Amino acid sequence: MTELHESAGTGPGDAHFTVFHDRAEAAAVARTFARPGTRTLHHPSGRPWLVGQWDDQEIVTARAGHAALAVIGCCPVEAAELEARARRLRDLAELDALARSLPGSFHLVAALDRQMRVQGTASGLRLVFHAVVDGVPVAATRADVLAAALGSGSDVERLAVRLLWPVPYPLFETSLWREVTAVPPDSALIVAADGRTVRHSRWWHPPRPVRTLADGAPLVREALGAAVNARTGQGGVVSCDLSGGLDSTSVCFLADRSPAKVVASTWPGRDPADTDLYWAEQATRHLPDVEHVVWDADASPLVYDDLLGIDDLLDEPTIGVMDRSRVLRHLPAMAARGSRVHLTGIGGDHVAWCSEAYYHRLARTRPLLALRQLRGFRALWQWPLGGTVRALADSRAYGRCLADAAGHLRAPLPASVATGLGWGMPPRLFDWVTPDAGRMAERALREAASTVAPLHPDRGMHADLEQIRSCTRIIRQWDRMAARAGVPMASPFLDDRVIEACLAIRPQERVTPWAYKPVLTAAMRGIVPEACLRRTTKAAAAMDAADGLRRHRADLATLWENSRLEELGLVDGDALRRLAQRPSAPGLRDAILYSTIAAEVWLRGLSPARTR
């Protein structure tokens, strides 16, 4: 089904494409998306269906009668199985069950009786956007591709929202171009047979968190094992991050059980108190067949490294640019050792742990249990009694909290107990953000507050889903950067099946003051040695961030010279230039510059005509 338009021009891990309806008008539009290096899949009529870039290793297609299916990304589904599904397909809604059953991380595209369906992952790691181009609905995996076809400039008001810290749901899921619509991660884009009617159809809901730890841990082990095997089962050489933490250590031990040869990579921290290398070496003592590469701590990139040299094509600002060098620096060396994919433990913090906000509900439904656990959290996080009581008594709806936050964007951050037991951290703006930008952000917050529904009625589940989807916005961009650097990156914890297995366990057994990541510890028992499961700490890399601010102060000053954000009237450039001369100023250790730097770096990657 695949024909080469010219040379493929891409490698595994960098698949991106547009999807078109089987209509003559759509075929004409599709031709405008063809570039040197793009490939094309066709409808039975011969008209273009998918146009983009992908590697043969990351696409499986099938056709039967009036149905056609394509799975693009990481998924071990066989073509014969996909063909059998296509043969039985009578309604696009039947694909909900298929999407909820397959392991891996992938886009699913379908055509049936001139209808079209396109979806990504519930995690948000693989997204779908759509726009009307020359009167024709077009779907794409990147927003900027659609914006370029429209000749559209990014919207300044939406960019102002990205200066918030943090950007709350649903605003971080909005495209930077008003003409380009983002499909929610839990929904599929459906284009009707007429080729014009477009709707979003929800295919994924989070599981009910009712399983005990004893019942749920084996299912987490099975799901995580399948996720790792989807990347390692073909053998060859794979590389893994091995920080010594529970997340990366679990992935490394699971990879070692596969046919692949494993190369483990450890960056020791610069902080003398950092114990990552100790714990990584504890793990490799039990991994005799794994090659362990330990990098020089003093040569490790710092936070803020190479901000002026970033030229990746990004379709939205990402705070991931701050750690880009730290994520990518070792990948060429892994490629030289033959690695075909690099596995990380990213996402373990988001799925194997969870928000304490679940106790807001548990305090009402199981008060004795909640009281006992909250006493532990108060001691662990130093929550004051009065603040804890006020946080538990706060029953505002999510929309009400967003509206209230809109009126306090310049206020100090609330106490940690309020955010820990609430809907999440309320957004803030900082001194260098102009009043005009502040008014834009406030207006957007109030508009969102008037219609928004939380990701889940339980504020704990909402907080977990929001954190997962915020995380994948960063990892999505890192994955593209890594593929460009020579080795595709994969984060098995962020596969939908792994997320579901973790979220299905009762929250009081997922997050407790008495144990560190009990779900992952229980799931990995028998695979990861007990000596490694005993770790209860996590390196914070605070020294790397502080040193990065000091060492790259000149780069930060240069970044604010001729600032694009300043030209748009969104920031006070003088204030930012003064701040660059004071890298030890109070508050900077809290990453408050990240959202502003992310927006500036992103704008520098666009031509002036692309911003309005």
| pLDDT(535) > 90 | no
pLDDT for the residue numbered 547: 77
Q: Where are the domains of the chain?
A: 2-202, 213-352+468-537
DSSP 110-148: EEETTEEEEE--TTSSS--EEEEETTEEEEES-HHHHHH
Give the model confidence (pLDDT) of 122-133 as tens digits: 999 999 999 999
Give the model confidence (pLDDT) of 88-103 as tens digits: 999 999 999 999 999 9
Give the model confidence (pLDDT) of 390-447 as tens digits: 999 999 999 999 999 999 999 998 999 999 999 999 999 999 999 999 999 999 999 9
CA distance 142 to 422: 33
Closest C-alpha among 276, 285, 279 to residue 256 = 285
Give the model confidence (pLDDT) of 463-481 as tens digits: 999 999 999 999 999 999 9
Q: What are the tokens at 599? A: 């927006």
| 23-50 average pLDDT score | 92
Topology match between the domains 2-202 and 213-352+468-537:
no
Which of left, alpha, beta for 13 (phi over 0: left; psi -120 to 50: alpha)?
A: left
pLDDT for the residue numbered 274: 78
Provide the 3-class DSSP secondary structure of residue 566. helix
Predicted TM-score (pTM) of this structure: 0.95
Q: Which CA distances in Å does 375 have to 171, 329, 363, 370, 517?
A: 34, 43, 12, 9, 19
CB 28 within 8 Å of CB 134: yes
CA distance 284 to 292: 7
**HSE-up of residue 424 (Cα within 13 Å, Cβ side):** 28
Q: Give the torsion sign (CA, 73, 74, 78, 83).
A: negative
Question: What H or E segment, with its residue span, contains residue 240?
Answer: strand 237-241
pLDDT for the residue numbered 269: 77
Q: Which CA distances in Å does 23 have to 48, 138, 218, 322?
A: 9, 12, 48, 44
213-352+468-537 under CATH 2.60.40.10, yes or no: no
pLDDT for the residue numbered 103: 96
Question: Who has greater pLDDT, 382 or 580?
Answer: 382
| pLDDT(6) > 50 | no
| pLDDT(584) > 90 | no
pLDDT band at 539 (very low <50, low <70, confident <90, very high): low
| pLDDT(541) > 70 | no
Domain 2-202 fold? Glutamine Phosphoribosylpyrophosphate, subunit 1, domain 1 (3.60.20)
**pLDDT, the chain, mean:** 92
pLDDT for the residue numbered 1: 36
| 439-461 average pLDDT score | 98
Task: Annotate 115-154 with b (16+ C-beta within 10 A) or e (fewer).
Answer: bbbbbbbbbbbbbbbbbbbeebbbbbbbbbbbbebbebbb
Residue partners of 322: CB distance under 8 A and separation at least 6: 303, 304, 307, 591, 594, 597, 598
DSSP 47-88: SEEEEEE--GGGEEEEEETTEEEEEEEE----HHHHHHHHHH
pLDDT for the residue numbered 303: 84
pLDDT for the residue numbered 5: 30
pLDDT band at 486 (very low <50, low <70, confident <90, very high): confident
Question: What H or E segment, with its residue span, contains residue 162?
Answer: none
| 117-122 average pLDDT score | 98
| pLDDT(552) > 90 | no
DSSP 183: P
| 52-75 average pLDDT score | 95
Task: Annotate 301-328 with b (16+ C-beta within 10 A) or e (fewer).
Answer: bbbbbebeeeebebbbbbbbbbbbbbbb
pLDDT for the residue numbered 599: 97
Report which listed range, 209-213, 412-416, 554-558, is most confident.
209-213
Question: Who has greater pLDDT, 264 or 11?
Answer: 264
